[in-house]
């Protein structure tokens, strides 16, 4: 049994210590906003926060999350109105939408550590997440919108 704090709720998880956090979140918790993309830590679709830092849930074993705070896209905002979520809509970022929860979680970690990033800092930080639809300019604009307080 592993104790993990997921979206502010303490949860005892019965899984092997090496189980990827992605499967704990999706299969054990039923929080399916975090997506499986590549399983190799190369695409970022599974990005969640571990103690406020963006991590690939597919590469983070349960034992690394035990006793730590995990935030998924569902935990970013109780009713989906986080400033980034609103900016994503305003900038019409999603096309297929598959990578967007990971993109938003990576952007939220960036803005937490650097509330006023430059365009170059946004591009560098977001390079860890792939968007196969190529909505990168919209992603940058959405993050800039939040950083500028719009």
> Is 0.75 topped by the overall pTM?
yes
Q: Are residues 65 and 105 in the same domain?
A: no
Q: Are residues 6 and 64 in the same domain?
A: yes
Domain of residue 107, residue span: 83-148
Q: Are residues 8 and 68 in the same domain?
A: yes
Q: Are residues 72 and 14 in the same domain?
A: yes
Q: Are residues 89 and 104 in the same domain?
A: yes
Q: Are residues 7 and 70 in the same domain?
A: yes
> pLDDT for 77-128, tens place per residue?
989 899 999 999 999 999 888 999 999 999 999 999 999 999 999 999 999 9
Q: Are residues 101 and 120 in the same domain?
A: yes
User: What domain count does the chain have?
Assistant: 2
- DSSP letter string, 12-71: EE-S-TTSBHHHIIIIIT--TTSPPS-SSSSS-TTEEEETTEEEETTTSBHHHHTTSEEE
Q: Please determine, for residue 150, whether its predicted confidence score (pLDDT) is greater than 80.
A: no
């Amino acid at each position: 049994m592993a104790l993990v704090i997921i979206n502010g709720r303490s949860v005892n998880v019965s899984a092997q210590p090496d189980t990827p956090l992605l499967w704990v979140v999706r299969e054990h918790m039923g929080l399916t906003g975090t997506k499986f993309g590549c399983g190799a830590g190369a695409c970022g679709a599974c990005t969640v926060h571990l103690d406020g830092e963006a991590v690939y849930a597919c590469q983070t074993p349960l034992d690394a999350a035990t006793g730590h705070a995990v935030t998924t896209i569902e935990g970013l905002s109780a009713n989906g109105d986080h400033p980034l979520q609103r900016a994503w809509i305003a900038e019409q970022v999603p096309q297929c939408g598959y990578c967007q929860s990971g993109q938003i979680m990576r952007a939220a970690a960036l803005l937490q550590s650097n509330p006023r990033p430059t365009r170059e800092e946004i591009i560098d930080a977001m390079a860890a997440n792939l968007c196969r639809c190529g909505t990168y300019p919209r992603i940058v604009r959405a993050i800039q919108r939040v950083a500028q307080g719009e």
